[in-house]
Amino acid sequence: MSSRTSRPVIGVVLGVALLAGIGWCADVDGGGDALGGGSAFRDTETSQAVPTTPAGSSSSDSLLPPTPAPAPAPAPPPGEPGAPPAPEAPAPGGDPLVPAAREAVGQLEVKGRAPKTGYDRDLFGQAWSDDVGVEFGRNGCDTRNDILKRDLYDITFRPGTRDCVVLTGVLDGPYTGERIEFQRGQDTSSLVQIDHVVALSDAWQKGAQQLTEQQRRDFANDPLNLLAVSGRANQQKGDGDTATWLPPRREFRCGYVSRQVLVKERYGLWVTQAERDAMDRILASC
């Protein structure tokens, strides 16, 4: 073949080869399936997959923000069906000792009163001793002044006593409701007295004879069993129990009886049947 004849043939061959090459490149760039890849690619900055538009949705739908989840329905107010029970509110002005006393009163032993034979105040230790294992014990102040500090307000102290000796103060008498101006002195101190809610002689006749000397000393100085009160009301009470004496001020009877119950439970003392009936009656009205 002459050179003139071969040139057109070579041109045709090169043209065919060029067209075939273009088609192969189009297969490589156009579809992931040609390389066995998926329908997503990697973002080299974040290394996170960028999803394609889901099948069946338009490209404009993929740009809309996601639909927020519906907010949960608000809980119904207390008292309506399906609502959690509302907490029980304490009775206004109720004594915090009443619930415990209601539980304890049924545990008290009921027996007859034992003879008062052998009773002596000294069997309960030195009056207002600080050498006790109850609250305020061994704090450097005697028990009488501890109770005056607890129950009085507008208090002044004797200088140099580390706030242990109360000179003056005001008491709102729990038994009578009267306002008493307290002033320490030979003729005035007795206007405010510290009452044993469960009297020592009553305790002696209802189980305290079996207590140890230390237990009786703790009993006589236990703040649960002590209240600053009107001297006149304290003298009227004497050693009466719930069946024989109650505070004239009716608003305080629940607190008074609750203290008697809890003191007798703490020290294992018993009650008479009449006393138990009176306790039940008072606590039922609280």
DSSP string, the chain: --HHHHHHHHHHHHHHHHHHHHHHHHHHHH-GGGGT--S-EE-TTT--EEPPPPTTS-TTGGGSPPPPPPPPPPPPPTTSTTPPPPPPPPPTT--TTHHHHHHHHTTS-B-PPPP-TT--GGGG-STT-S--SSTTTTSSS-HHHHHHHHH-EEEEE-TTSTT-SEEEEEEE-TTT--EEEEE-STTTGGGEEEEESS-HHHHHTTTGGGS-HHHHHHHHH-GGGEEEEEHHHHHHHTT--TTT---SSGGGHHHHHHHHHHHHHHTT--B-HHHHHHHHHHHHT-
Mean pLDDT of the chain: 79
- Segment 241-264 mean pLDDT: 98
pLDDT tens digits, residue range 49-99? 334 344 444 443 444 444 455 555 554 444 333 444 333 334 445 799 999
**Over 50: is that where the pLDDT of 166 sits?**
yes
Query: Taking the domains of the chain in order of start, what are their residue ranges?
Result: 98-284
More confident residue, 106 or 84: 106
Per-residue pLDDT at 94: 79
Over residues 262-272, the pLDDT tens digits come to: 999 999 999 99
Residue 104: what pLDDT?
Answer: 98
**pLDDT for the residue 34:** 33
pLDDT given at position 93: 53
- Whole-number percent of the chain with pLDDT over 90: 67
Tell me the average pLDDT across 178-187.
97
Least confident of 1-5, 148-152, 165-169, 222-226: 1-5
Model confidence at 214, pLDDT cuts 50, 70, 90, reads very high
Position 70, amino acid: P
